[in-house]
Amino acid sequence: MKKLSTSDYDREALQRLVRSVTFFKDIVKLDQDQFELLLSVCGFVEASAGETVLRKGDDAHTLYFLLRGQMTVLSEDDQSLNIINPGEVFGTLSMVTGRPRSATVKAESDVILLVMDYKYFQEVNDFSMFSVDTKLVAYRMVVHNIRWTLEMNKMKSPSHPLVTRLLKMPVYTGARGGEDELAALSKQSRDLADLLCEWNDSVELAD
């Protein structure tokens, strides 16, 4: 992968790509200053078609947002498990669990990615840099991403023994906004991530 600088690519063009991502679009609407602060701790990178961006088992400390191109999540035997399209995030499982990367991800075409160190969001109650509202947007995204992956797993294996636990996973129904929702989403993300890790491990054992 290669880091992009202003000499490599027009910054305004890159920012337009960023604003097409739902997470960043929501932050822009919420607080322009928080958006600028968020961009200041992110970086732009590009990868060529066929290049491996993440490798299963690698240490992790970043989230990736695909801005342009297409990527593939690969199994142990290099079979395609999932396609990542522009606007989507990957790397949330490692963010929540602290575990190494759970899958290998390869660029299907030339891609542009936004890379964000997720350390700023792991301490849920630290608002010295990012506000409660910004962290709420982040954790809503994380919960949605992990739950969506589990739902895809359920569609592929509707009789899997973990489907029952997935169906019983609670959905936050309290008042939106504030630290109560943030705490609930943080716990929900951990519970969903643990379930997804268990599901992934069960598939590996079966193979």
Tens-of-pLDDT digits for all 207 residues of the chain? 888 765 666 777 777 888 889 999 999 999 999 999 998 889 899 999 999 999 988 888 899 999 999 999 887 777 787 899 999 999 898 889 888 888 899 999 999 999 999 888 988 999 999 999 999 999 999 999 999 999 999 998 999 999 999 999 988 888 899 999 999 999 999 999 999 989 888 765 444
d(CA 184, CA 169): 12
Helices (H) and strands (E) in the chain, counts: 8, 9
How far, in Å, are 71, 109, 111, 206 from residue 50 at the CA level?
9, 7, 10, 28
d(Cα 205, Cα 147) in Å, to the nearest integer? 22
pTM for this one? 0.89
Please answer whether residues 117 and 65 qualify as being in contact, where contact means their C-beta atoms are separated by less than 8 angstroms.
no
Supply the pLDDT for residue 207. Answer: 45
User: Per DSSP, what are the bridge partners of residue 82?
Assistant: 73
